[in-house]
Amino acid sequence: MKLLALETANEQCSVCLVNDDQPVFFQLDNQAKAQTRTLLPLIEQGLQQNDWQTSQLDVIAFSRGPGSFSGVRINAAVTQALAWANDLPVVAVSTLQALAQAAYRLQQLTQVTAVLDARMQEVYIANFVLDAHGIMQAVSEEKLLSYAAAQAEIQFTVVGSGAHLLQPENTFGDITPTAQDIASIAIELAKQQHWVSAEQALPVYLRDNAWKKIPEQGKP
């Protein structure tokens, strides 16, 4: 199975290619908010290095959110375009689940509360536990909550960009999901054909009024 995984739901951009469960390409670009310039070149780089054509892919996986509004839109739009053009199925992976998977990959944490900074004095939050296949699975609903309300949702070690907002002394705030984590989750789902068509590869924002002016986001 040839799988392409994309992650732009945070402020960085990464691409991963997997062939029969083995990663054969991974590239991360840490330029903040540069996904529109870097995603397609990274995909092309990975395909060329492996002498693949897009038509040879079996499935595309992407980080569907919640996360950066523009980043989530870019990820979904590129995924849909590639899937439509090549008649490929899509695996949509939660950004919070990918964050939890990153915590396992980087720190061997098997129970985490994944928290992403949602701006406007809010966070995206959910709890995850490692399953028998080495995949972090949700044990609570994904939510968009105020800092105070989110405190009551914490069950495990807090990780992610919103960690310091709930626990100022937290040491796992620098854990960020990449396309590697999207791929790890998507491979298991693809084996079970838990995928959707291109038109169903939709972003998840959790916030209804995602378009907010900069001053309303609590940014300087």
CB count within 10 Å of CB 2 equals 15
Question: What is the average pLDDT score of the chain?
Answer: 93
User: Nearest CA to 184 among 86, 81, 106?
Assistant: 106
Residue recorded with tokens 């378009």 = 211
CB 184 within 8 A of CB 101: yes
Residue-wise pLDDT tens digits, 55-106? 999 999 999 999 988 999 999 999 999 999 999 999 999 999 999 999 999 9
Please tell me if the domain spanning 2-94+177-217 has the same topology as the one spanning 95-166. yes
CB 202 within 8 A of CB 139: no
pLDDT number for residue 47: 98
Pick the CATH number of 2-94+177-217 from 3.40.630.10, 3.30.420.40, 3.40.462.10, 3.40.1280.10: 3.30.420.40
CATH class of 95-166: alpha beta
Q: How confident is the model at residue 33 (pLDDT cuts 50, 70, 90)?
A: confident
CB 78 within 8 A of CB 66: no
H helix intervals, 3-137? 35-49, 69-86, 95-107
pLDDT number for residue 209: 52
pLDDT number for residue 179: 98
Give yes or no for residue 213 having a pLDDT over 60: no
CB count within 10 Å of CB 123 equals 27
The upper half-sphere exposure of residue 144, i.e. CA atoms within 13 Å in the direction of its Cβ, equals 15
pLDDT number for residue 161: 97
Euclidean distance between CA atoms 122 and 207, whole angstroms:
10
* Mean pLDDT, residues 106-123: 97
Residue-wise pLDDT tens digits, 5-22? 999 998 889 999 999 999
Contacts for 210 with CB less than 8 Å, ≥ 6 apart: 69
Which range is least confidently modeled, 24-38, 79-93, 151-165?
Answer: 24-38
Contacts for 171 with CB less than 8 Å, ≥ 6 apart: none
Categorise residue 21: left if φ over 0, alpha if ψ from -120 to 50, beta otherwise. Answer: left
Extract the tokens encoding 183: 């791929």
Give yes or no for residue 50 having a pLDDT over 70: yes
Spans of all domains in the chain: 2-94+177-217, 95-166
Which range is least confidently modeled, 107-111, 129-133, 154-158, 214-218?
Answer: 214-218
CB count within 10 Å of CB 109 equals 19
Residue recorded with tokens 């990918």 = 98
pLDDT number for residue 139: 98
Q: What are the angstrom distances between the C-alpha of 107 and each of 79, 120, 157, 176, 219?
A: 29, 29, 11, 12, 30
One-letter amino acid at 175 equals I
* Mean pLDDT, residues 199-209: 86
Give yes or no for residue 154 having a pLDDT over 90: yes
CB 123 within 8 A of CB 89: no
